Amino acid sequence: MFMMHDRETPVWDLVTRIFHWSLVLVFCVAQITAEEWDSAHEYAGYVIIGLVIFRLIWGFVGPKNVRFIDFVKSPGTIVEHITGMLIGRHTPETGHNPAGGAMVVVLLVWLALTGLTGWLNISLSGPTAEIFEDIHELLGEFSLLLIAAHITGIIVMSILERQNLAKSMIDGKKFVSE
C-alpha cells in the first residue's frame, strides 16, 4: 500500500515525538479516570497543561518543522490545500500540511481550554464551579471528536502520500521526493 519515495528524511525530532506520545498517553489516562478517580484525573490534567505550555514554547524555539511559523497557514491557504486534495492536486509537505497545522493549533487551544476549565472547576466553589464543570466536560467529550478527525486526517494523508505517516511520529522520518 505504501510506496517509497526518493529518499527518507528526518522530519520530527525526538523531543516532539516524546511530547506527542506523552500527550496521547496522559490524555488517555485523563479520559479513563474522568468521574472515576478524581486525583488521577486532576494530575493528568495538570500534566496535559504542562505539555501544552511546553509545546507552545517548543513551537517558537524547536526545529524548523515544529515551529508555528513553519506550519501555521492562513485560512485561504488551508482551504486551497483541502480543495487541492479533493480535486487530486495534492502536494506533499515535509512537515505538517496546512490542514494538519491547523489541527495542531486547534488541539493545543482546545486542550488548554479543557485544562483551564477543569482547574477553575476545582479552584472555585458554588454555581460558578458547576458552570466550569459543565464546560470542562463538554470540552473533554468534544476533544474525542477532534482526535478522531486528527487520526482520520493522518489515515487520509497516508493514503494520498502512499506512506505510513503515523510511523513517522515514531521514528521521526518521512519519505520525500527530490
pTM of the model: 0.86
| Listed range (1-15, 56-70, 71-85, 154-168) with the worst mean pLDDT | 1-15
Check pLDDT > 70 for residue 4: no
CB-based contact 136:118 (threshold 8 Å) = yes
Render the burial of 130-157: b for 16+ CB within 10 Å, e for the rest: eebbebbbebbeebeeebeeeeebbeeb
Domains and CATH numbers, the chain: 7-172 (1.20.950.20)
- Other CB atoms closer than 10 Å to residue 19's CB: what's the count? 19
Confidence band for 2, pLDDT divided at 50, 70 and 90: very low
| Listed range (20-29, 40-49, 85-94, 164-173) with the worst mean pLDDT | 85-94
